[in-house]
């Protein structure tokens, strides 16, 4: 039985080409099929797809009738990309304590939809959205996409960020009130952390995000015990724990407490990086390209350049030490003429500047992301039983990862959502 018709998308997504998902078999001819986990390429394969999933990958042969043929014989085909640190429903054009007044939850959800579809069109078929989504706009967005109301990437959402009292604010007048509660859950001590995790799970979180960020000395820093209870509650529910931590003070307790990933880790030194390697804790580095920083007209460009160099050095040290690294961006605004998807792909340059090879970058954007989110049994590879999340490029990204900025074909769960060039 066919499900026909084109899914109606709001005007903001009119540039996204949507083809109906078919129950019949699709035979996708892959001239060069990439396995990011092993950095190998197989030639002339046919990916057989039925509905949302891959039913087999076979050698070139007569296409089974009555399959629909998608010919990518001249392309390099690989799993859809993953961004492990997004904030789809947040924009820094408004300060945190006025953002919830300027933008209601409905607006935040629609902004998230626009950004999610831009990410998908750029080749990101799965994203992990780690907070700053108002009153669970990220849950509403995820559910709308899962229900088929809109086409978008798979979203692994965090709900509200859990943080010590005050969220990530350095200081706010008491006259303002706890405005940050629109974005954060205040949680101090083991039992408050436990309740906060359970609250987020109740409201639809698929990953738990904690902020441990030294403010005024040790204010804002979670203890190893507090991290551990969050990890235990998250893992009991079958989800993972991500901890925002920038330095040794915050990152070490998070690693020892059982966090699955450390977000940012800008100033983490080698001993803690070695601990991450030992514990199997992922680094999601979010190192912003210098071009993005300079476009924001920093007060001191020389300082911005020095900070960028320090982050590059840390990324290279983490790689050399064998720390597992997954691709994440932390894009929270748009540059003129650049949407979230295109800006996210700019981050590839940071990895290359750090001296990390293209095969590892591709792996970090696919295999490592799937493993960190614990969805590698269903996404992150082109294999029988996996969801048909595929992209294609005109050249081999294992030779130069920058080719990923030239994605010419995107398929999400068996549905073609974007393509360029000649028709099938």
- For residue 96, pLDDT beyond 80: no
Residues spanned by the domain of 37: 11-80+381-419
Query: Residues 201-210: what's their mean pLDDT?
Result: 98
Backbone angles phi, psi at 123, to 5 degrees: 115, 0
146 and 119 in a common domain: yes
Q: Does residue 23 belong to any structural domain of this protein?
A: yes
Q: Does residue 5 belong to any structural domain of this protein?
A: no
58 and 184 in a common domain: no
Please tell me the predicted confidence (pLDDT) of residue 305: 94
111 and 60 in a common domain: no
Categorize the per-residue pLDDT at 333 as very low, low, confident or very high, splitting at 50, 70 and 90. confident
91 and 17 in a common domain: no
365 and 231 in a common domain: yes
Q: Does residue 322 belong to any structural domain of this protein?
A: yes
pLDDT digits (tens, 9 = 90+) for 115-144: 999 999 999 999 999 999 999 999 999 999
Q: Does residue 2 belong to any structural domain of this protein?
A: no
Q: Does residue 3 belong to any structural domain of this protein?
A: no
For the sheet with 261-264, list strands across it.
184-186, 161-163, 208-211, 241-245, 261-264, 282-284, 325-326
**Number of compact structural domains in the chain:** 2
Measured CA distances, 351 to 372, 373, 390, 398 (Å): 19, 21, 23, 13
Query: Residues 29-38: what's their mean pLDDT?
Result: 98
Determine which helix (DSSP H) or strand (DSSP E) holds 81, and give its type and residue range: strand 81-86
- For residue 177, pLDDT beyond 90: no
Task: Say if pTM beats, i.e. exceeds, 0.95.
Answer: no
Residue pair 193/187 in contact (Cβ under 8 Å)? The answer is yes
Largest CA distance in the chain: 73
Residue pair 242/260 in contact (Cβ under 8 Å)? The answer is yes
Nearest to 172 by CA among 160, 162, 158, 186: 186
Task: State the CATH number of the domain containing residue 217.
Answer: 3.20.20.140
Task: State the CATH number of the domain containing residue 395.
Answer: 2.30.40.10
Categorize the per-residue pLDDT at 93 as very low, low, confident or very high, splitting at 50, 70 and 90. confident
Determine which helix (DSSP H) or strand (DSSP E) holds 224, and give its type and residue range: helix 224-236
187 and 304 in a common domain: yes
Please tell me the predicted confidence (pLDDT) of residue 224: 98
- Cβ partners under 8 Å of residue 339, min gap 6: 115, 118, 122
389 and 356 in a common domain: no
Q: Does residue 6 belong to any structural domain of this protein?
A: no
Query: Residues 234-239: what's their mean pLDDT?
Result: 98
116 and 56 in a common domain: no
DSSP 23: S
Query: Residues 391-412: what's their mean pLDDT?
Result: 98
221 and 180 in a common domain: yes
Please tell me the predicted confidence (pLDDT) of residue 95: 72
Other CB atoms within 10 A of residue 27 CB: 19
- Nearest-angstrom CA–CA distance, 221 and 245: 9
Residue pair 321/274 in contact (Cβ under 8 Å)? The answer is yes
Q: Does residue 169 belong to any structural domain of this protein?
A: yes
- For residue 18, pLDDT beyond 90: no
298 and 275 in a common domain: yes
Q: Does residue 1 belong to any structural domain of this protein?
A: no
Query: Residues 285-297: what's their mean pLDDT?
Result: 92
Both tokens of 402, joined, read 């920058």
pLDDT digits (tens, 9 = 90+) for 339-357: 999 999 999 999 999 999 9
193 and 134 in a common domain: yes
- For residue 156, pLDDT beyond 80: yes
- Nearest-angstrom CA–CA distance, 340 and 80: 16
Kind of pairing between the strands at 40-50 and 25-35: antiparallel
- Nearest-angstrom CA–CA distance, 310 and 266: 8
Task: Compute the mean pLDDT over every residue in the chain, rounded to the nearest whole number.
Answer: 90
Residue pair 343/334 in contact (Cβ under 8 Å)? The answer is yes
Residue pair 269/248 in contact (Cβ under 8 Å)? The answer is yes
Query: Residues 243-257: what's their mean pLDDT?
Result: 97
Both tokens of 200, joined, read 């987020």
Residue pair 125/366 in contact (Cβ under 8 Å)? The answer is no
365 and 352 in a common domain: yes
- Nearest-angstrom CA–CA distance, 166 and 193: 14
């Amino acid at each position: 039985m066919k499900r026909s018709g084109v899914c109606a998308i709001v005007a903001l997504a009119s540039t996204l080409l949507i083809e109906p998902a078919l129950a019949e078999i699709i035979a996708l001819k892959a001239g060069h099929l990439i396995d990011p986990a092993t950095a190998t390429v197989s030639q002339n394969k046919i990916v057989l797809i039925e509905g949302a999933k891959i039913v087999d990958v076979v050698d070139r042969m007569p296409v089974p009738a009555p399959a629909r043929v998608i010919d990518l014989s001249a392309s390099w085909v690989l799993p859809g990309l993953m961004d492990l640190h997004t904030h789809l429903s947040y924009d820094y054009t408004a300060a945190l304590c006025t953002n919830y007044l300027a933008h209601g939850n409905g607006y935040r959800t629609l902004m998230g939809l626009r950004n999610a579809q831009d990410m998908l069109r750029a080749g990101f078929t799965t994203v992990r959205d780690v907070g700053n989504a108002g009153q669970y706009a990220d849950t509403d967005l995820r559910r709308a996409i899962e229900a088929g109301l809109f086409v978008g990437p798979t979203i692994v959402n965090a709900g509200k960020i859990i943080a010590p009292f005050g969220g990530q604010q350095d200081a706010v007048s008491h006259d303002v009130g706890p405005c940050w509660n629109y974005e954060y859950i205040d949680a101090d001590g083991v039992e408050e952390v436990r309740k906060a995790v359970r609250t987020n799970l109740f409201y639809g979180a698929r990953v738990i995000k904690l902020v441990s960020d030294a403010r005024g000395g040790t204010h804002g820093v979670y203890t190893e015990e507090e991290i551990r209870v969050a990890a235990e509650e998250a893992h009991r529910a079958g989800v993972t724990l991500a901890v925002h931590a920038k330095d040794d003070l915050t990152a070490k307790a998070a690693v020892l407490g059982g966090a699955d990933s450390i977000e940012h880790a800008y100033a983490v030194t080698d001993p803690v990086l070695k601990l991450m390697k030992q514990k199997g804790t992922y680094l999601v580095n979010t190192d912003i390209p210098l071009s993005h920083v300079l476009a924001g007209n920093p007060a001191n460009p020389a300082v911005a350049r020095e900070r960028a160099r320090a982050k590059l050095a840390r990324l290279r040290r983490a790689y050399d030490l064998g720390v597992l690294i997954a691709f994440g961006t932390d894009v929270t605004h748009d540059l003129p003429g650049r949407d979230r998807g295109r800006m996210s792909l700019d981050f590839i340059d940071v990895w290359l500047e750090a001296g990390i090879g293209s095969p590892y970058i591709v792996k970090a954007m696919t295999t490592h992301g799937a493993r960190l989110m614990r969805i590698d049994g269903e996404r992150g590879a082109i294999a029988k039983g996996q969801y048909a999340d595929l992209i294609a490029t005109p050249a081999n990204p294992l030779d130069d990862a920058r080719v990923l900025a030239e994605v010419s074909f995107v398929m999400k769960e068996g549905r073609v959502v974007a393509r360029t060039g000649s028709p099938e």
